[in-house]
A and B are shown apart, each in its own frame.
Chain A
Amino acid sequence: MAIVERPQTKTQTINGAEILVRGLIRQGVDVIFAYPGGCSMPLHQALTFHRDEIRTILPRHEQGGGFAAQGVARTTGEVGVCMATSGPGATNLVTAIADAKMDSIPLVAITGQVPTTVIGTDAFQETPIVEICRAITKAHYLITDVRDTARIVKEAFYIARTGRPGPVLIDFPKNVQLATIDEEPDLDPPMNLPGYHPEIRKPTSTQIREILAAIRESKKPIFYIGGGVVQSDASEEFTKFALKTGIPVATTVMGIGAFPGDHPQSLHMLGMHGTAYSNMAIAEADLLIALGVRFDDRVTGKLDEFAKHGRIIHVDIDPSELHKNKKAHIPIVGNVKDVLHGLNALVSDDDIPEMDAWWRQLNEWRDKYPLKYRDSGDFIIPQYAIDELWRQTKDRDAYVSVGVGQHQMFAAQFYKFSKPRRWLSSSGLGTMGFGLPAAMGVQAAFPDALSIDIDGDGCMLMNVQELATLSCEKLPVKILLLNNQHLGMVVQWEDRFHEGNRAHTYLGPIDHPEAVGAGDGTHYEETYPNFVQIAKGFGVEASQVRSKKEFPAALAKMLAYPGPYLLDVLTPYQEHVLPMIPSGKTVKDIILE
Chain B
Amino acid sequence: MMKHVLSAMVMNQPGVLAHISGMLASRAFNIESLAVGETERPDFSRITFVVAGDNKVVDQVRKQLEKIVTVVKVMDYRDQDILERDLMLLKVSTVDSGLSKVKELAEIFRAKIVDVGQSHVMIELSGPERKIDAFIDLMRPFGILELVRTGRIALAREVSLSVEDALKPPTPFDTSEVEIEV
- Cβ of A342 within 8 Å of any chain B Cβ, yes or no, is yes
Across the A-B interface, give the 5 residue pairs with the lowest CB-CB distance, nearest first: A204-B177, A320-B63, A195-B72, A139-B69, A338-B182
Closest chain-A Cβ to B63's Cβ sits at a distance in Å of 4
- Binary contact track A380-392/B, C-beta < 8 Å → 1, others 0: 0000000000000
Q: Are B70 and A130 in contact (CB under 8 A)?
A: no
CA distance A196 to B42 in the complex (A): 20
Q: Are B69 and A320 in contact (CB under 8 A)?
A: no
- Cβ of A8 within 8 Å of any chain B Cβ, yes or no, is no
A sample of 25 inter-chain contacts (CB < 8 A) reads A131-B18, A134-B19, A135-B22, A135-B26, A138-B69, A142-B15, A159-B69, A194-B72, A195-B66, A195-B71, A200-B169, A200-B170, A200-B171, A200-B173, A205-B177, A205-B180, A208-B180, A318-B67, A320-B60, A320-B64, A323-B59, A324-B60, A337-B182, A338-B182, A342-B180
Closest chain-A Cβ to B132's Cβ sits at a distance in Å of 32
CA distance A130 to B22 in the complex (A): 12
Q: Contact size class for A?
A: 35 or more
- Binary contact track B21-51/A, C-beta < 8 Å → 1, others 0: 0110010000000000000000000000000
Closest chain-B Cβ to A390's Cβ sits at a distance in Å of 35
* Chain B residue nearest to A322 in the complex (CB): B63
Give A318-362 interface residues, CB cut-off 8 Å to B. 318-320, 323-324, 333, 337-338, 341-342, 345-346
Q: Are A134 and B170 in contact (CB under 8 A)?
A: no
Closest chain-A Cβ to B165's Cβ sits at a distance in Å of 12
Give the B-binding residues of A (Cβ under 8 A): 130-131, 134-135, 138-140, 142, 159, 193-197, 200-208, 318-320, 323-324, 333, 337-338, 341-342, 345-346
Chain A residues near B10 (CB-CB < 8 A): 195
CA distance A194 to B68 in the complex (A): 11
- Cβ of B120 within 8 Å of any chain A Cβ, yes or no, is no
A-B contacts at CB below 8 angstroms, number: 89
CA distance A568 to B38 in the complex (A): 62
Q: Are A204 and B180 in contact (CB under 8 A)?
A: yes
Give the A-binding residues of B (Cβ under 8 A): 9-11, 14-15, 18-19, 22-23, 26, 56, 59-60, 63-64, 66-73, 166-167, 169-174, 176-182
CA distance A341 to B60 in the complex (A): 29
Q: Are A197 and B64 in contact (CB under 8 A)?
A: no
Closest chain-B Cβ to A301's Cβ sits at a distance in Å of 21
CA distance A219 to B20 in the complex (A): 45
CA distance A345 to B67 in the complex (A): 31
CA distance A138 to B71 in the complex (A): 12
Chain A residues near B179 (CB-CB < 8 A): 202-205
**Max chain A C-beta neighbours (<10 A), residue from B9, B63, B72, B173:** B173
